[in-house]
Amino acid sequence: MPSQSVEEYLEAIYRIGGETGTVNTCELATMLGVAPPSVTTMLARLTRDGLVEHTRYKGLKLTESGREMAASMIRRHRLSERLLTDVLGMPWQRVHEAACKLEHVMTGEIEERTYRALGEPERCPHGQMLNGDENEPLIALSCAKPGSKVRVVKLAEENEEFLIAVEKLGLVPSAEVTVSAISDSEICYSAAGTEHQIPIDLAQYVWVRPVE
């Protein structure tokens, strides 16, 4: 069985680069909060074990085995978040850190039993898919056009401060939003009959789809 640190590295690579994207060591060190030499040491181990491919000056990417392991950890993390919110009643802005611990102790049997007990959910509380990539084209709210109507699908950031902010702004998954105006610094919109403004730098983490 892989160690928790190996699982964390694979998950971080997947989160940054997706299934096939290339990641540089600085990005990885920043996400994990570790020193670059520590990343270098772990990458040597992951490369040796056939979990990543590391090309000097080009970065690294997951191998097929690495992708499978990382996708499994992502699924367990998001399923843990659903368990914490739907069953234990934890606020959605606080479940990320707890799920980071639960995902490492969730066995395959517990994972599948939890999935069925929760009614086979498609997404985590923040709208991220449990299995695989998105099944529909999405855009960031920061790219929406004035006058358009969109529905919030997922949030690309999970830190507590961000989630508290977007909840106050009515930008939770499934919320319908009507964009009224866009400037260089903010987007004006209405949600549930209330007018709001959100800074552009936050709106880029809110992913939506058009409402016909």
Question: What are the pLDDT digits (tens) for 51-109?
Answer: 999 887 788 899 999 999 999 999 999 999 999 999 999 999 999 999 999 999 999 99
18 vs 56: CA distance, rounded Å: 20
Strands of 194-199's sheet in order across = 139-140, 206-210, 149-155, 176-182, 186-191, 194-199
Taking every pair of C-alpha atoms in the chain, what is the biggest distance, in angstroms?
Answer: 56
Question: What are the pLDDT digits (tens) for 122-176?
Answer: 999 999 999 877 778 899 999 999 999 999 999 998 889 999 999 999 999 999 9
> Is the pTM of the predicted complex or chain greater than 0.75?
yes
